[in-house]
Chain A
Amino acid sequence: MGPRMTRSAVKIAAEDGQDLRAAMPPPDSPLAMRGMTVSYGEKPAVFSVDATFPARSMSAIIGPNGAGKSTLLKASLGVIPRLSGEVWVFGKPLAQARDRIAYVPQRASVDWDFPTTVIDVVQMGLYRKVGLLGRLKGLMTAQAQACLDRVGMADFAHRQIGQLSGGQQQRVFLARALAQDADLYLLDEPFAGVDAATERAIVDVLKLLKSEGKAVVAVHHDLSTVRDYFNYVFLINVRRIAEGPAQTAFTAENLNATYGGRLSATHISELTLSGGAA
């Protein structure tokens, strides 16, 4: 079993190597990668993934638990190291385009009892702009406050972050990303464990970003809302399964290939049908 697996893995890697030479991503793609492989120990979490996310759109990264959705996002940002592969952001290497990306990590990834206030967290999005010693007064505070206003949290500026509900925490993280005034927004499960009102508020902000010509890429776990929120989908289960506009790629066939037997046939037909009607 072992050797056979290895041989097939080598073959796939070779094929992807040819892809790499053949297809450079279009320069206007906000996020593209070729041959992205990330592994924890010797178990690949993401294997030789190619992706080309389109400009001016909202894209969802979809897949079952442990499919490498968050890993793909983090590795493309350099938050975790990749084993191999290349990443382009707006046609440039990551290092040259970092200030055009804003990242919204998973809410649960930080300690919310940290001694800081809402406005302080939002101002973290401005750190790169002000530098080490620049003052954060005046204009910067106003800018952070405006970002809080956009997510409906203007009255919470001076709250300690430990007093926020889950939905409010997520809004603060989104406001921090907005403060960066980026062109590409990467979100890791922005709707996980938030209330309905927050979900609506976040979707409104993201749709507005899209209408302003920015790109949004989000790890998404709720299949029932994919069609309503996103116009582009990327299906992954360690390897890339499919990607494309939601109308053509979010199909029963692709979902079956991504989730294996984990979704029932009736559930899948419901998802793809109800989404199509909306």
Chain B
Amino acid sequence: MSGFLDALLLQAGYNAALVMIGSGLLGFAAGTSGTFMFLRKRALVSDAVAHATLPGIGIAFIVMVLLGGDGRNLVGLLIGSAATAWIGLLLIEWIARRTRLAEDAAIGAVLGVFFGIGIVLLTVIQTMSAGRQAGLESFLLGSTAGMLYSDAVVIAIGGSIAVLATWFMRRPMTLVSFDPEYAAALGYNVRRIDLTMMGLVMMVTVIGLKLVGLILIVAMLIIPAVTARFWTERSNRILWIAGCIGGVAAYVGAAISASAPAVPTGPIIVLVTAVMFVLSLIFAPVRGVSAAIIRHRRFQARVHRRQGLLSLARQEPIREPYTLRLLAREGLIRPDGVPTEAGRAQAAKVARDERRWAVAREVHQDAGLTGRYDGLTPIEDVFTRDEIKDFDRRLGTPFPVEGLA
């Protein structure tokens, strides 16, 4: 535990600190650029893009070795991976636009084919004399070993460019995500904006390959956005909340893996992000599951309370045990089911409002007002006091209700 705290405060050595700072930056960049893939409902495109990096890694290695260089040169490998990822991306876009296949089929086809080619290339490289110690498998699931200073620099520069570009393009990207037809009518080039969106995701994917690996990077792109959605209703905020969630999760995840050296960094980061997602899912104030359950319970209670009071007013028996419990708990009926003084008063009010509504719907043909007759909205919320007095006049008979008039 103290090892974890040391790591969290960047006290676990130079290499661990480097990994954590790099991870935090990557997490932030992935969270922001992934948000638009989520909003555009293209989350899985980023998964296909990630898988499409693998053949590029293999090809770049082989080319660099054949040219007599070091096959493990990171910049060379990243350029190779970006190239095939971009081809995969264009292929998905082309298939979806030019053929009758839906985008999900295009994603599946490209993801599978490119990943397959990549695995074949890795096997070929294993048989090459220079390939024995290549360590290219670490691109699949990320490396457990530390990060080089140069890796951190790549992440810092690439991540910053991705975040800046996302910020710069946020308006057109929001517009295209929400309403592509309107964007096109305004004169925006929707296809180019879509490609920009995916290009940013590709950039983050490529710089994150070494740390998280191509199989899990989709989690860092999408889960922060999905998590942030629980906490806000504004698209400009979801962007930064997703960035912060991604950054914090990656930083904490890297700290955990630094304090327990045998644990791989990428999967731990993904798990920490997943924990934040589950917590948001359960506890978020409006969209969360527990908030929804509480809202539903309250609504149910209101329905039962009103139906029970109407039954009392009409002197019908109440059979539902939940209604009886509810009314008894509020002191509106005695345990034997006989209404109390307060119960009779409230029942009279419910019955009277019901008759007022009947008049209101005759007087006001306006759908905007009478549309609010749902049995639960208090009539006082819809009509003014003098309007209600007018309904009472039309009803003719006065309704004296003690203490509630």
Contacts and interface: CB of A to CB of B under 8 A. Distances in A.
Interface of A: 74, 77-79, 95, 98-99, 101, 103, 105, 109-111, 114-117, 120-121, 124, 127-128, 132-133, 160, 162, 176, 186, 195-197
Interface stretch (B126-134, B164-172, B355-363, B396-404): B164-172
Q: Closest 10 A-B residue pairs measured CB to CB?
A: A103-B185, A160-B233, A79-B184, A98-B187, A77-B185, A105-B181, A110-B179, A114-B178, A195-B367, A116-B235
Given A128-B186, A195-B368, A115 B233 contact: yes
A124 B234 contact: no
B386 interface: no
Nearest to B175: A124
A78 B186 contact: no
B182 interface: yes
Interface string B229-244: 1001111101000000
B235 A114 contact: yes
B245 to A, nearest CB: 15
Contacts of A195: 367-368, 371
B177 interface: yes
B223 to A, nearest CB: 16
29 contacts: A74-B181, A77-B184, A77-B185, A78-B185, A79-B181, A79-B185, A98-B186, A101-B185, A103-B182, A109-B179, A110-B178, A114-B39, A114-B177, A115-B39, A115-B234, A116-B233, A116-B235, A117-B234, A120-B236, A127-B171, A127-B172, A127-B175, A176-B182, A195-B367, A195-B368, A195-B371, A196-B367, A197-B366, A197-B367
Contacts of B232: 115
A168 B204 CA distance: 39
A196 to B, nearest CB: 6
A202 to B, nearest CB: 14
Interface in B165-203: 168-169, 171-172, 174-175, 177-179, 181-182, 184-187
A133 B182 contact: no
Given A132-B171, A195-B371, 14 more contacts: A74-B181, A95-B187, A101-B185, A105-B179, A111-B41, A117-B234, A124-B182, A127-B171, A127-B175, A127-B186, A128-B186, A133-B168, A176-B182, A197-B368
A101 B187 CA distance: 10
A111 to B, nearest CB: 8
User: Secondary structure of the B side of the interface?
Assistant: helix
A99 B169 CA distance: 20
Contacts of B179: 105, 109-110, 124
Given A105-B179, A114-B39, A197-B367, A132 B168 contact: yes
Contacts of B172: 127, 132
Contacts of B168: 132-133
Interface in B134-181: 168-169, 171-172, 174-175, 177-179, 181
Contacts of A186: 185
A27 B177 CA distance: 36
A271 to B, nearest CB: 25
Contacts of A132: 168-169, 171-172
A105 B178 contact: no
Contacts of A79: 181, 184-185
A105 B182 contact: yes
B184 A109 contact: no
Contacts of B171: 127, 132
Nearest to B233: A160
B229 A115 contact: yes
Given A115-B232, A115-B235, A116-B234, A109 B367 contact: no
Nearest to B365: A196
Nearest to B228: A115
A181 B371 CA distance: 33
Interface string B362-405: 00001110010000000000000000000000000000000000
Given A77-B184, A78-B184, A116 B178 contact: yes
A77 B236 CA distance: 28
Contacts of B235: 114-116, 120
Interface in B106-128: none
B164 to A, nearest CB: 12
Nearest to B178: A114
A71 B147 CA distance: 55
Nearest to B368: A197
Nearest to A136: B171
B342 to A, nearest CB: 35
A120 B234 contact: yes
A109 B181 contact: yes
A186 B229 CA distance: 33
A162 B181 CA distance: 19
Contacts of B177: 114
Nearest to B238: A115
Contacts of A160: 233
Contacts of A133: 168
Nearest to B179: A110
Contacts of A74: 181
A50 B270 CA distance: 57
Nearest to A128: B186
A79 B272 CA distance: 42
A195 B370 CA distance: 12
Contacts of B236: 120
